[in-house]
Structure 1
Amino acid sequence: MARRKRPLFARWYPDAAARLEERGLAAQRARLLAPLEGRVLEIGPGFGANFPHYPDTVTELVAVEPEEHFRDLARARADELGLKAAIIEGTAEALPVETGSFDAVVATAVLCSVDSQADALAEIARVLKPGGQLWGFEHVGSPGRARHAAEKVLDAVLWTHLNGGCHLSRDTLGAIRAAGFDTAGMSEERFAFLPFPVSKSTHLVGSARKPA
């Protein structure tokens, strides 16, 4: 399934996101990515916010990004950092890389906005080696019935349309488990430094393992 292009979002988002990096998101990325090693695929790198935080133990980085403007920004960021990264066009639902070839896949705040979580997670499972891990953080739908219903309404009428396809109400943990991943390495946190309403959302943080 092809992801819809969202060029307007790609234009305004980097400036807004830069402030969030300073408020705490950069530190979260650094903690998340520190254990990575080997060959890594990042899905939806955007303007390259994760790039400064990849450790030297990552031997190869491939990044798949559907938006042309984001690809340009990511390449500029990689050049600025002296980071060797292949930044290519593609979508999470149809990754243009070979099967079983990556030690880790990184997706930070991406599964909230893909067109199909099931298709994206099936592709992630396909490209990971046996025992490989999906690393990321994602805000997810609230457990309370009333709040979850409100999130669904907000997604339908406003939020998703203004924020690059982002959904507040998704059951991302359930989707990851349904795709066959072991989610023992994921925990729940709140990112109070994010703007409302995601500051009130539960975030999944950590890694999910593909069976060996």
Structure 2
Amino acid sequence: MTDLSHPIFARLYPRLDAASARAGGDALRAELLAGTSGRVLEVGAGYGANFAHYPPEVTEVVAVEPEPRLRAKAEGMAARAPVPVTVRPGLAEELDLDDGSFDVAVASLVLCSVRDPVRVLAELRRVLKPGGELRYYEHIKGSTPGKVRFQRWADAVWPLLAAGCHVSRPTDRWIAASGFTVRAERRFEFPASGLNPASPHVIGVAVRD
């Protein structure tokens, strides 16, 4: 199986993400991808929001997206991207890609919603060259007891509304424990104000050991 269908979410997400982009999300995507080069794998590429931010040093992007409606939108975005982008179906847990075949792997707001994030990280490590980079931008488990409690309550319903997204995953800790050395990492709240269980975020670069 290479498709996961979420028709309502797929229709709503590009509109929601456009609002996020205007609030600062575009700058975060640009920060995530700054300095990338060579052959890049992006898992859970969605509708292709990252494509416009890849620098010219990137020779190819292979973008994997299991949701067919989002994937169709991503193909349109790929045609306008500043670097070559190939969009293909597939699950991040089961990448049909060769070992050590990428210079960079990108996980952008996706490890919250995959079924087995630890397995995904193992797959990303497998397809990276030794010394290859994992670039990640994810929302994560909060740092205060109150926020963590709020996220646990939210996770009772949030995944049903947001295509399996969980707001309380300690993704940053899983990355550090998955055969990567974290080289740079920044934690922040986005949006910076308001009552939002998904506001704790991390953006970082880790290197395959």
Q: TM-score, with normalisation over the residues of structure 1?
A: 0.91
Q: Are 1:111 and 2:91 matched, yes or no?
A: no
1:26-41 matches, within 5 Å, as 26-41=26-41
- Higher percent of residues as strand: 2
| Greater Cα offset, 45-54 or 143-152 | 143-152
In the alignment of these two chains, the number of paired residues is 209
Specify every segment of 5 or more residues in structure 2 that has no aligned partner in the other structure, as ranges: none
Q: Please tell me whether the aligned partners of residues 78 and 86 of structure 2 are also in contact (alpha carbons under 8 angstroms).
A: no
Identity across matched positions, percent: 42
1:50-89 matches, within 5 Å, as 50-81=50-81, 83-89=83-89
Match of 1:160 in 2: 159
Deviations 1:123-174 (A, max 9, x none): 0111111011110211111122343133112102x11110111111111111
SS of the aligned residue for 1:184 comes to: strand
Q: Are 1:128 and 2:128 matched, yes or no?
A: yes
Query: Aligned partners of 1:194 and 1:94: how far apart in 2?
Result: 37
1:119-198 matches, within 5 Å, as 119-156=119-156, 158-192=157-191, 196-198=195-197
Match of 1:23 in 2: 23
Q: Please state how far the C-alpha of 1:198 moved relative to its aligned partner.
A: 4.5
Alignment-mate amino acid for residue 38 of structure 1: G
Query: Aligned partners of 2:168 and 2:3: how far apart in 1?
Result: 19
SS of the aligned residue for 1:183 comes to: strand
Q: Please tell me whether the aligned partners of residues 36 and 57 of structure 1 are also in contact (alpha carbons under 8 angstroms).
A: yes
SS of the aligned residue for 1:135 comes to: strand
Q: Which consecutive aligned stretches of 4+ in structure 1 deviate over 6 angstroms post-superposition? A: none
Match of 1:49 in 2: 49
Q: Please state how far the C-alpha of 1:81 moved relative to its aligned partner.
A: 3.5
Alignment-mate amino acid for residue 113 of structure 1: S
Q: Please tell me whether the aligned partners of residues 41 and 105 of structure 1 are also in contact (alpha carbons under 8 angstroms).
A: yes
Specify every segment of 5 or more residues in structure 1 that has no aligned partner in the other structure, as ranges: none
Match of 2:203 in 1: 205
Change (3 A) 1:52 1:196: farther
Match of 1:13 in 2: 13
SS of the aligned residue for 2:139 comes to: strand
Query: Aligned partners of 2:172 and 2:108: how far apart in 1?
Result: 14
Query: Aligned partners of 1:194 and 1:109: how far apart in 2?
Result: 19
- Higher percent of residues as helix: 1
Query: Aligned partners of 1:207 and 1:3: how far apart in 2?
Result: 28
SS of the aligned residue for 2:19 comes to: helix
Change (3 A) 1:105 1:71: same
Change (3 A) 1:43 1:194: farther
Q: Please tell me whether the aligned partners of residues 59 and 84 of structure 2 are also in contact (alpha carbons under 8 angstroms).
A: no
SS of the aligned residue for 1:41 comes to: strand
